[in-house]
Copies of this chain bind each other. A is one copy, B any other.
Amino acid sequence: MSQQPGQAADAPADQPSLHRVLVDGIRDMIVCGELESGERVPEAFLCRRFGVSRTPLREALKVLSVEGLVQLRRNRGAIVTPVDPDRLRDIFETKGALEHFIGLHAASRATDADLARIDALHADLVGAERRADPGRYTRLNENFHLELARLTRNPELVQIYEALQAKVLRARFMINVDPARVRESLGEHEAIMTALRARARLDLAERLVAHNERTSEAMLRLLGDAPG
């Protein structure tokens, strides 16, 4: 959501294909909650919003359907996939399976430069929490975990991880994160960094999985209070 794609006026940007702009733009709208969970999304609405014709827009909707962010029903248009606690649990579980793998392999495949970079990210994250900057915190947090995933040097895994992250992020935007949980989470990050620096495979895997589960539990609890 870094740039408002509302104008067709950004035509000079001919580098990225319109199709990609739309996929990213609509994804952001969904993740940020600008399009509400379960809401019906007429093509014409998005066409006006982005100032494009239906052809590239429909291509984008098909892609987002594969990503699971919208659901398409024949002749009945698109709806934003509802955020369902059961499905979110599935997402966290699946992400957990990847976290385990990341833990087992990140330590051995990371260079010292990698570790320094992630250490810096972690420090930024602590700073964002201190300054009570939730937007920056959330972004840095996503980045921190994504960088850990990248340590596997496995693009296939990273791509899947990113898609799962997007779905989690969507749920995160729907709830008010508990500040106490944020501090707890930072403590878990500390433990993760300790294991990573020591290149302790099993420890790292265990802590990543535990962190994922804690986060899952906290989010599902909050989602229960403020569902759909």
A residues near B (Cβ < 8 Å) are: 15, 17, 19, 55, 58-59, 62-63, 66-68, 74, 87, 90-91, 93-94, 96-98, 100-101, 105, 152, 154-157, 159-160, 164
Contact = CB atoms under 8 A, between A and B. Distances in A.
Contact of A63 (B63, B100, B101, B164): B63
Contacts of A94: 98, 101, 154, 156-157, 160
A156 B87 contact: yes
A101 B97 contact: yes
Residues of A contacting B: mostly: helix
Contacts of A67: 66
Contacts of A93: 101, 105, 152, 154, 156-157
A118 B213 CA distance: 30
